[in-house]
Every structure is written in structure tokens, then in C-alpha cells.
Amino acid sequence: MRRAGAIAGLLAALALAAGMEAARAGDAPGRVVSMNVCTDQLALLVAAPGQVVSVSALSHDPAASMMTAEAAAIPANSGQAEDVYLLRPDLVLTGSFSTRSATVLLRRLGVEVAEFAPADSLADIRANIARIGDLLGRNARAAEVVAAFDAEVARIAAGVAGGGPRAATWEANGFARGRGTLEGEIVARAGFRNIAAELGYAGPVRLPLETLVMEAPDALIVSDRWRETPALALQVLDHPAIRRGLTDAHRVPAPGRLWACGTPHVTQALGRLAAAATRIGGEGRR
């Protein structure tokens, strides 16, 4: 009898342990919907197969996303609350500036929504990957992604020399990126000296054309797609003062979609700009 009671107790303990393990496994959301192209990519990097059931339409656009192949088989959503709610999500991922009305309405309907602010640094990218891993119950996978990201950043940094050429990012409407921006950090880590940061500018800031010309940067980092999308806001990129002040060799194509989102793909942008900084710096030393 005592043995039978012991066996029964053991079976009960095993059943309890199994139940607790199942409950822990059930904590991970089984149906994840993303409404933002940046959270799309973070989720696709970390999620288990089939865990992400819908992504934003931009994730299917190669001009906006680096992960169109991974997103190809996943249905796109409109980003509207009605569309997303009907997908019966356990968790919705979105950007802090994306479809605010949809975010508010989904929360009123009892849907869990996790918002992600744009990454302003490489540290933000690491933190966002870790947060995605925690939300999706995929911490181990997130740690792997972060480790690979750090290793690639370190590999590129090993070949970067300090005191490189002076550069400015130059965007639509004459905006540049100063301190406290992801683009600014990538430019600096690539070996360029960022003119906007040297002048004391922080964040995205409109840099006067006169200031840019007077600073005479060694390189102008401009959008790699600006000629493909004609707009008045982009005409400043082809201003005569710029064309006369900088040679074509010093016009460096900005990596566009590579750094539009704070994902590990920014290492490709870092690598391209590091190569450009080495080339331009070498030309200056001849």
C-alpha cells in the first residue's frame, strides 16, 4: 500500500510538473501580427516557424524591407484595427508612430499591443531584439541574433581607422543626422567624421545649404534611390552648389533600406560606409 501510494504521489508530481511546463510553453503567443515594417523584420528574425501570422504590406516591398523572402508566404495586413482584430492575434507588434488610432482601438478591444520606438543607436537594436525575444518566448533565439550582430559589428570595426574623412548625410529637404541618431552612429563607426555632430547638432536636423558648402565635406552621403523618386523635396540633393563643390567620387550612396529600420541588417550599411571611408581617406592621403 505504501508503495502504491508512493507511485501515485510520484505520478501526481510528474503530472503537475508536466502541467506547469505546458503552462509555461503556453505563455508564448501563438498568433503574432505585426503592423510595422521594422517590427515585421525583428519578429521574423526571432519568431518560431508559423508564430507570425501577418505582417505589414511593406514587408513584401523590396524597396522597404530586407526580409521580403521570409515575409513572402505570410499574409499582409492593412494596419487597420478591423483587419488586425479579425486575425485573432495573441500579440500585436507595431511602431510608436504607426497607425496610432489602430493601436488605441485594439487595446480597447482587449488585444495586447507592444509598441517599439525607432532605434536611435546600436544599443537600441540590441535591446529591441531582446525585447522581441521576451515577448515571443524566444529568448534563446534572440540571444543568438544579438551575438551574431555584435560579432559582425566588431569585425567591421577592426578594420576602421580613426580620424577619417569628414562627411555629412544629406536627405530630402536638406535634413542631416547629428548626434543621438542611428545613422549618425553608423557614419561615425564607419570611420567618417560626421559634420552635423561636429557642429553640435543632435537628432535629425535641417542643415543649411550654405553651412554644408562652407564646411566642404570630403563626402556627401545621399539616398541611393533619390533619382528614382522625383520630388521637390529631393531637388536640394542636386543643387548646383553641391555639384560644383563635391566630385562624383565623393557622393556616397546612403544604404537606404539597410538602416531605415533598427535591425541587424544595419551591419551591411556599416560595412559599405566603412569601405567608402577607407577609399576616400586613402585618396586624401595621396
- Are 104 and 203 part of one and the same domain? no
Amino acid letter, 112: E
- Are 151 and 177 part of one and the same domain? no
- Our CA dihedral for 66, 71, 75, 77, rounded to 10 degrees, sits at -30
- Is 88 part of a structural domain of the chain? yes
- Are 140 and 94 part of one and the same domain? yes
- Are 253 and 225 part of one and the same domain? yes
- Are 130 and 54 part of one and the same domain? yes
The last residue of one of the domains, among 110, 125, 155, is: 155
Q: How far apart are CA 223 and CA 168, in angstroms?
A: 12
- Is 59 part of a structural domain of the chain? yes
* Model pLDDT for residues 243-265, shown as the tens digit of each residue: 777 665 588 888 788 999 999 99
Q: How far apart are CA 180 and CA 123, in angstroms?
A: 11
Please give the model's pTM, rounded to 2 decimal places.
Answer: 0.84
Confidence of residue 226 (pLDDT cuts 50, 70, 90): low
The last residue of one of the domains, among 138, 155, 172, is: 155
Domain that holds residue 213: 162-284
Give the whole-number percent of the chain exceeding pLDDT 90: 66
Q: How far apart are CA 40 and CA 58, in angstroms?
A: 9
**Using the 8-state DSSP alphabet, how is residue 75 labeled?**
P
- Are 183 and 254 part of one and the same domain? yes
* Model pLDDT for residues 86-97, shown as the tens digit of each residue: 999 999 999 998
Please give the C-alpha separations between residue 43 and each of 127, 137, 219, in angstroms, as whole numbers. 13, 11, 35
Q: Quick one: pLDDT at residue 186? A: 96
Q: Mean pLDDT, the chain, as a whole number?
A: 86
- Are 173 and 273 part of one and the same domain? yes
Q: Quick one: pLDDT at residue 243? A: 75
- Is 22 part of a structural domain of the chain? no
74 pLDDT higher than 50? yes
Laid out side by side, the sheet with 193-194 consists of 193-194, 166-170, 219-223, 251-254
Q: Number of folded domains in the chain?
A: 2
Q: Quick one: pLDDT at residue 247? A: 65
- Are 140 and 92 part of one and the same domain? yes
- Are 182 and 258 part of one and the same domain? yes
Q: Within its chain, how far is the Cα of 232 from the centroid? A: 27
Q: Quick one: pLDDT at residue 2? A: 46
The last residue of one of the domains, among 128, 155, 182, is: 155
- Is 13 part of a structural domain of the chain? no
Please indicate whether residue 261 or residue 15 has the higher confidence score (pLDDT): 261
- Is 94 part of a structural domain of the chain? yes
- Is 213 part of a structural domain of the chain? yes
Q: How many CA atoms lie within 13 A of 190 on its CB side?
A: 35
**Is the separation of the CB atoms in 252 and 219 below 8 Å?**
yes
- Are 65 and 113 part of one and the same domain? yes
CATH number of the domain enclosing 207: 3.40.50.1980
| Chain length of the chain | 286
Q: Quick one: pLDDT at residue 244? A: 77
- Are 131 and 47 part of one and the same domain? yes
Q: How far apart are CA 146 and CA 263, in angstroms?
A: 10
286 pLDDT higher than 50? no
- Is 198 part of a structural domain of the chain? yes
Q: Quick one: pLDDT at residue 285? A: 52
* Model pLDDT for residues 168-211, shown as the tens digit of each residue: 998 888 889 999 999 999 999 999 999 999 999 999 999 998 89
Confidence of residue 222 (pLDDT cuts 50, 70, 90): confident
